[in-house]
């Protein structure tokens, strides 16, 4: 039997780790779908219709799985974190309700038109639907990140005691909802979503381009994949540097507002100046290898690097150490390594973008097999970067569920039993593994089936779906 | 905008906002039960089909709609959280395992139609066909059970009245689904759906009366509410509308039958709300006024909801008019 607090935390962690994949897919694909739809209507070139139809199928599957997993997430605040919901509901519930009313409704209703309605509605309404769907996905992120960023840098409230319970009362809505963390988080998240999907597209396209140009496979509609690769590279060239530049500003903001998290990110135990930026660090004692709070580190670092980054240019800047906080620190090793993986991936994506751009400029984009292999291998790494990024954000703020206001351990439903929590935790592990497997399988099939051929474009979308299934070999 | 000072102390236009949010919450739940209700009903009626083409047709009728319909449940959860956070917390943690059963069933039902269309082989389709039927049957049953537990303030998960409530909601979704299929199908399929609808409506009236009797017999605390004119009126309305539904179906007036279902759903939801009021969480002894959030966020939420909900209803008008009329047999779920 797992302790209800631990079981609830694990369950919530698992739910968010799995769920985030699907909104990232939707938010990242949305601008591409709007672009394809616009080009399809304006230019009447079949390649854009092929692109639109192909990526819409992946969008639709992601949306369904995202709905299923997201509903669980919304309800888990009540089922597992009732104490948090009662305490913070007045401030936290509003954004969730508004996400549903303002964003999710827009996305879900117009997705019906976008997926099924190409032959039923006018070009204008169809294009508007693509915008509505995209706007819906992005507005969802606005409200969810307003709620989350408030937990990181809570503002605009006071605490009162009602019936023996501490309740968060909203006093200044603008300060609360447009809290200092929100813009950093929103830009970082949205750019990450587009970057991740661009990498995914580039990886899928590289696979077909590689098989055709390097291995000489005959590939139907190769021009679709060449176009995909080019579009994905352009987007990557914009988003990858932006992500690192903006991420640097974000990290400085964390240093100023959440010093505990920053100390964990850099594994700084004692308050010090001229703190090195460790590239890697390991415990000197092998027995401590699995201890997330291990201290005696062997590290390779840049002298003064962490101080320099935190202060925006001063290698002598002081960083407050983990030992100076009265609360027990977060699991340092997890935060430290998650942060390093994210940053390393960020730089790798820039390198990929520059490499691809250089080959393109030289007219060798479709010949460099090493580039194609690198793109294929990196197709899911954007999602990995998003996951570890969220781990830095969420594990890094422990032990607080609301920074400085409420601890995670105090937020779990008081009447929840270990048996109930353990039962649903195991149910989740099983269910979510099955769900992820199913999603991977279905998306894999869609990719293998490829876009509709030009002959099929005159048929309805639905007929195309049937057709592509037949040709994909069942 | 007026200054925050006035918004923080006085309810907007002096309206009884706590009561309005209680009503709004049940309206949102009613929208969910009516709209997703026909999806559930179609899922249950899917069990009566052997022919592959007819199965495809049934799936195609709900294809463009069900995502949007289900969002009403998300909005219900969000609105409950926003307006009555303590109730959201109490209710969902009290019926913990029931909540997860609902989520699992809903998940199965959401995945099933999408997965069904991904492959054509029999084995795969049989599997997801059953998932669709099971998800569509279990979800409304558990929702009925949940709402009934909420209404009577049950402390356990499964109570006799709860089970009756579950069956009531399940049968109502079949009534709803049959009327919807009357609008979306043609020919022999439609005639058969007419017959299922008629039988479901008669059963609904019977089971609803039995459920009400069971509540009256087992919940002395609710007895006085039964004499309220609203409750009497809603029961009579339900009986009348069941009659109208049956007659409308017999005469092939499908729009009238579908409109009658909507009223039946809102009648049932209204009945639950009336019986629950003034409490919003009977087990915890919380009335609507005790559980509502403070004035400032309540005013803000009210302004937002009064702007957003009409817009949302507008989206549904656009969606439903884009896909009005019977399903094209060439058009299937994709």
Cβ of residue B188 closer than 8 Å to a chain A Cβ: no
Cβ of residue B6 closer than 8 Å to a chain A Cβ: no
Most A CBs within 10 A among B9, B96, B109, B289, hence the mutation to make, goes to B96
Distance CA B251, CA B245 (A): 10
User: Which chain B residue is nearest to residue A94, measuring alpha carbons?
Assistant: B82
- Per-residue confidence at A474, pLDDT binned at 50, 70, 90? very low
List the one residue out of A22, A12, A72, A64 whose CA is nearest residue B104: A72
Rounded to 5°, angle at Cα A403 from A397 and A406 = 110
Name the DSSP letter for residue A318.
E
What pLDDT does residue A470 have? 40
Name the DSSP letter for residue B333.
-
Most A CBs within 10 A among B88, B94, B184, B286, hence the mutation to make, goes to B88
Distance CA A261, CA A205 (A): 39
The mean-pLDDT minimum among A22-31, A458-467, B115-124, B268-277 falls in: A458-467
Crossing angle of helices B160-184 and B254-276, in 10° steps, is 160
Name the DSSP letter for residue B258.
H
> Which residue stretches of A99-154 are H helix?
105-116, 123-152
pLDDT exceeds cutoff 90 at A128: yes
User: Does B73 sit within 8 Å of A469, measured CB to CB?
Assistant: no
pLDDT exceeds cutoff 90 at A214: no
User: Does A111 sit within 8 Å of B67, measured CB to CB?
Assistant: yes
SS3 category, A57: helix
Distance CA A455, CA B69 (A): 35
- Per-residue confidence at A461, pLDDT binned at 50, 70, 90? low
Sorted by sequence, the CB contacts under 8 Å of residue B116 that are 6+ apart come out as B59, B124, B125, B128, B129, B132, B333
- Per-residue confidence at A467, pLDDT binned at 50, 70, 90? very low
Cβ of residue B232 closer than 8 Å to a chain A Cβ: no
User: Token pair for residue B91?
Assistant: 């209710």
Q: How far is B104 from chain A (nearest CA, A)?
A: 9
User: Token pair for residue A440?
Assistant: 């991977």
Name the DSSP letter for residue A22.
H
Q: Using alpha carbons only, how large is chain A's radius of gyration in Å?
A: 24
Distance CA B264, CA B275 (A): 17
pLDDT exceeds cutoff 60 at A85: yes
List the one residue out of A440, A434, A55, A472 whose CA is nearest residue B119: A472
Q: Answer left, alpha or beta for residue A284, where phi above 0 means left and psi between -120 and 50 means alpha.
A: alpha
Task: Tell me which chain A residues have a C-beta less than 8 angstroms from the C-beta of B323.
Answer: 112, 116-117, 120
User: Token pair for residue A201?
Assistant: 């597209």
User: Does A101 sit within 8 Å of B308, measured CB to CB?
Assistant: yes
User: Token pair for residue A114?
Assistant: 């976008």
Distance CA A281, CA A267 (A): 9
- In this structure, are residues A63 and B67 in contact, taking their beta carbons and an 8 Å threshold? yes
User: Token pair for residue A418?
Assistant: 């270990």
Q: How far is B210 from chain A (nearest CA, A)?
A: 31
List the one residue out of A205, A99, A91, A204 whose CA is nearest residue A157: A91
**Residue numbers of chain B with a pLDDT score lower than 50:** 1-2, 331-334
Cis omega (within 30 of 0) for bond into B278: yes
Cβ of residue A442 closer than 8 Å to a chain B Cβ: yes
* Cβ within 8 Å of A, B 275-294: 293-294
User: Does A68 sit within 8 Å of B110, measured CB to CB?
Assistant: yes
Sorted by sequence, the CB contacts under 8 Å of residue B187 that are 6+ apart come out as none
- In this structure, are residues A314 and A307 in contact, taking their beta carbons and an 8 Å threshold? yes
Name the DSSP letter for residue A339.
H
Cis omega (within 30 of 0) for bond into A399: yes
pLDDT exceeds cutoff 50 at A468: no
Task: Tell me which chain A residues have a C-beta less than 8 angstroms from the C-beta of B315.
Answer: 105-106, 109-110
Most B CBs within 10 A among A68, A126, A147, A461, hence the mutation to make, goes to A68
Of residues B74, B119, B322, nearest to A113 (C-beta):
B322
User: Does A94 sit within 8 Å of B118, measured CB to CB?
Assistant: no
Cβ of residue A2 closer than 8 Å to a chain B Cβ: no
Task: Tell me which chain B residues have a C-beta less than 8 angstroms from the C-beta of A90.
Answer: 85, 293-294, 297
User: Does A106 sit within 8 Å of B296, measured CB to CB?
Assistant: no
- How is A143-179 classified by DSSP, letter by letter? HHHHHHHHHHS--SEEEEEETTEEEEEES-HHHHHT-
Q: How far is B58 from chain A (nearest CA, A)?
A: 15
- In this structure, are residues B273 and B26 in contact, taking their beta carbons and an 8 Å threshold? yes
Distance CA A52, CA A38 (A): 10
Q: Over the stretch A254-299, which tens digit does the pLDDT of each residue have? A: 999 999 999 999 888 889 888 888 888 877 777 777 776 777 677 7
Q: Over the stretch A302-357, which tens digit does the pLDDT of each residue have? A: 888 889 888 888 888 899 988 888 888 788 889 998 999 999 999 999 999 999 99
Cβ of residue B146 closer than 8 Å to a chain A Cβ: no
* Beta pairing class for A165-170 and A157-162: antiparallel
What pLDDT does residue A62 have? 95
Number of helices followed by number of strands (H, E) in chain A: 16, 8
List the one residue out of B298, B304, B290 whose CA is nearest residue B7: B298
What pLDDT does residue A473 have? 37
User: Which chain B residue is nearest to residue A111, measuring alpha carbons?
Assistant: B64
User: Does B115 sit within 8 Å of A462, measured CB to CB?
Assistant: no
CB hemisphere CA count around B84 (13 angstroms): 28
Sorted by sequence, the CB contacts under 8 Å of residue B322 that are 6+ apart come out as A112, A113, A117, A120, A121, A125, B64
Report phi then psi at B332, rounded to 5.
-125, 180
User: Which chain B residue is nearest to residue A464, measuring alpha carbons?
Assistant: B334
List the one residue out of B145, B143, B151, B157 whose CA is nearest residue B34: B143
What pLDDT does residue B1 have? 41
CA distances from A114 to A7, A121, A131, A228, A410 (A): 40, 9, 10, 21, 44
The mean pLDDT value of chain A amounts to 90
User: Does A445 sit within 8 Å of B304, measured CB to CB?
Assistant: no
Q: Return the C-alpha torsion angle B187, B189, B193, B194, nearest 10.
A: 20
- Per-residue confidence at A358, pLDDT binned at 50, 70, 90? very high
Distance CA A433, CA B125 (A): 21
User: Token pair for residue B197?
Assistant: 């609808």
User: Does A70 sit within 8 Å of B334, measured CB to CB?
Assistant: no
Cβ of residue A17 closer than 8 Å to a chain B Cβ: no
What pLDDT does residue A333 have? 86
User: Does B331 sit within 8 Å of A71, measured CB to CB?
Assistant: no
C-beta contacts of A112-115 below 8 A and 24+ residues apart? A112/B63, A112/B64, A112/B65, A112/B67, A112/B68, A112/B319, A112/B322, A112/B323, A113/B64, A113/B318, A113/B319, A113/B322, A114/A33, A114/A56, A115/A56, A115/A60, A115/A461, A115/B63, A115/B64, A115/B334
User: Token pair for residue A354?
Assistant: 């520059």
- In this structure, are residues A76 and A411 in contact, taking their beta carbons and an 8 Å threshold? no
- In this structure, are residues B169 and B265 in contact, taking their beta carbons and an 8 Å threshold? no
SS3 category, A311: helix
User: Token pair for residue B291?
Assistant: 């559980």
Q: How far is A32 from chain B (nearest CA, A)?
A: 20
User: Which chain A residue is nearest to residue B334, measuring alpha carbons?
Assistant: A462
> Which residue stretches of chain B are H helix?
4-9, 17-45, 52-62, 66-83, 85-94, 96-116, 122-152, 160-184, 187-218, 229-250, 254-276, 288-291, 295-322
List the one residue out of A207, A209, A202 whose CA is nearest residue A230: A202
What pLDDT does residue A464 have? 45
What pLDDT does residue A165 have? 83
Q: Answer left, alpha or beta for residue B314, where phi above 0 means left and psi between -120 and 50 means alpha.
A: alpha
pLDDT exceeds cutoff 70 at A137: yes
CA distances from B118 to A11, A201, B111, B330 (A): 30, 21, 11, 17
C-alpha dihedral sign at A149, A153, A158, A163: positive
Task: State the pTM of this model.
Answer: 0.91
User: Does A116 sit within 8 Å of B75, measured CB to CB?
Assistant: no
SS3 category, A119: coil
Name the DSSP letter for residue B279.
E
User: Does B75 sit within 8 Å of A104, measured CB to CB?
Assistant: yes
What pLDDT does residue A379 have? 95
- Per-residue confidence at A459, pLDDT binned at 50, 70, 90? low
User: Does B65 sit within 8 Å of A424, measured CB to CB?
Assistant: no
């Amino acid at each position: 039997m797992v302790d209800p607090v631990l079981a609830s935390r694990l369950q919530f962690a698992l739910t968010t780790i799995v769920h985030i994949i699907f909104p990232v897919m939707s938010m990242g694909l949305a601008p591409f779908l709007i672009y394809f739809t616009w080009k399809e209507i304006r230019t009447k070139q079949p390649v854009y219709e092929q692109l639109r139809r192909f990526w819409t199928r992946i969008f639709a599957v992601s949306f369904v799985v995202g709905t299923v997993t997201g509903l669980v997430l919304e309800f888990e605040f009540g089922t597992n974190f009732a104490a948090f919901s009662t305490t913070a509901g007045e401030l936290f519930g509003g954004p969730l309700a508004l996400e549903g009313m303002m964003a999710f409704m827009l996305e879900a209703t117009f997705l019906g038109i976008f997926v099924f309605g190409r032959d039923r509605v006018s070009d204008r309404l169809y294009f508007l639907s693509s915008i509505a769907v995209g706007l819906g996905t992005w507005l969802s992120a606005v409200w969810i990140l307003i709620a989350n960023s408030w937990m990181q840098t809570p503002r605009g409230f006071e605490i009162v005691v009602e019936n023996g319970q501490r309740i968060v009362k909203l006093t200044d809505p603008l300060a609360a909802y447009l809290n200092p963390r929100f813009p950093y988080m929103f830009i970082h998240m949205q750019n990450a979503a587009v970057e991740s999907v661009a990498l995914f597209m580039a990886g899928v396209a590289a696979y077909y381009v590689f098989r055709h140009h390097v291995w000489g496979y005959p590939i139907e509609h190769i021009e679709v994949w060449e176009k995909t690769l080019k579009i994905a590279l352009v987007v990557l060239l914009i988003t990858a540097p932006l992500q690192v530049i903006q991420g640097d500003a974000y990290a400085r903001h964390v240093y100023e507002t959440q010093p505990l998290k920053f100390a964990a990110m850099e594994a700084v135990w004692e308050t010090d100046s001229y703190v090195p930026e460790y590239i890697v660090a390991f415990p000197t004692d092998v027995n401590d290898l699995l201890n997330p709070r291990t201290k005696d580190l062997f590290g390779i670092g840049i002298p003064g690097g962490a101080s320099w980054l935190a202060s925006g240019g001063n290698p002598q800047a002081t960083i407050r150490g983990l030992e100076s906080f009265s609360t027990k620190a977060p699991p340092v090793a997890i935060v430290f390594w998650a942060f390093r993986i994210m940053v390393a991936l960020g730089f790798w994506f820039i390198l990929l973008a520059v490499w691809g751009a250089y080959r393109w400029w030289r007219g060798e984009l479709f010949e460099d097999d090493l580039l194609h292999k690198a793109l294929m291998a990196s197709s899911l790494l954007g999602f990995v970067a998003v996951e570890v990024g969220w781990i830095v954000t969420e594990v890094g703020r422990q032990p607080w569920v609301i920074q400085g206001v409420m601890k995670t351990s105090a937020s779990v439903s008081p009447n929840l039993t270990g048996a109930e929590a353990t039962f649903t935790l195991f149910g989740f592990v099983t269910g979510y593994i099955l769900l992820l497997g199913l999603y991977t399988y279905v998306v894999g099939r869609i990719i293998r089936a490829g876009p509709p051929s030009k002959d099929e474009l005159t048929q309805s979308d639905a007929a195309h779906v049937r057709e592509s299934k037949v040709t994909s070999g069942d | 905008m007026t200054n925050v000072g006035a918004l923080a102390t006085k309810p907007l236009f002096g309206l009884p906002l706590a009561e309005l949010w209680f009503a709004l919450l049940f309206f949102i739940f009613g929208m969910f039960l009516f709209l997703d209700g026909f999806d559930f009903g179609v899922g249950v009626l899917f069990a009566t089909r052997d022919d592959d083409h007819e199965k495809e047709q049934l799936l195609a009728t709900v294809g463009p709609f069900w995502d949007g319909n289900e969002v009403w449940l998300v909005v219900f959860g969000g609105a409950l959280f926003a307006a009555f956070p303590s109730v959201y917390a109490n209710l969902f943690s009290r019926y913990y395992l029931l909540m997860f059963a609902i989520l699992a069933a809903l998940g199965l039902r959401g995945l099933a139609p999408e997965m069904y269309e991904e492959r054509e082989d029999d084995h795969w389709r049989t599997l997801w066909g059953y998932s669709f039927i099971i998800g569509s049957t279990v979800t409304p049953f558990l929702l009925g059970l949940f709402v009934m537990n909420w209404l009577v303030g049950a402390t356990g998960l499964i109570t006799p009245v709860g089970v009756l409530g579950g069956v009531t909601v399940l049968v109502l979704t079949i009534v709803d689904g049959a009327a919807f299929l009357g609008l979306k199908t043609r020919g022999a399929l439609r005639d058969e759906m007419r017959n299922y609808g008629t039988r479901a409506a008669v059963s609904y009236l019977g089971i609803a009366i039995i459920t009400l009797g069971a509540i009256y017999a087992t919940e002395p605390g609710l007895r006085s509410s039964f004499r309220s004119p609203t409750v009497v009126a809603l029961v009579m309305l339900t009986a009348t509308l069941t009659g109208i539904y049956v007659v409308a179906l017999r005469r092939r007036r499908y729009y009238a039958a579908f409109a009658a279902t909507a009223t039946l759903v809102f009648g049932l939801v209204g009945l639950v709300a009336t019986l629950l009021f003034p409490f919003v969480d009977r087990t915890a002894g919380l009335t609507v006024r005790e559980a509502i959030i403070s004035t400032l966020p309540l005013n803000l939420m009210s302004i937002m909801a009064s702007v957003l909900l009409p817009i949302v209803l507008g989206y549904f008008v656009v969606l439903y008019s884009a896909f009005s009329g019977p399903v094209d047999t060439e058009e299937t779920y994709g």
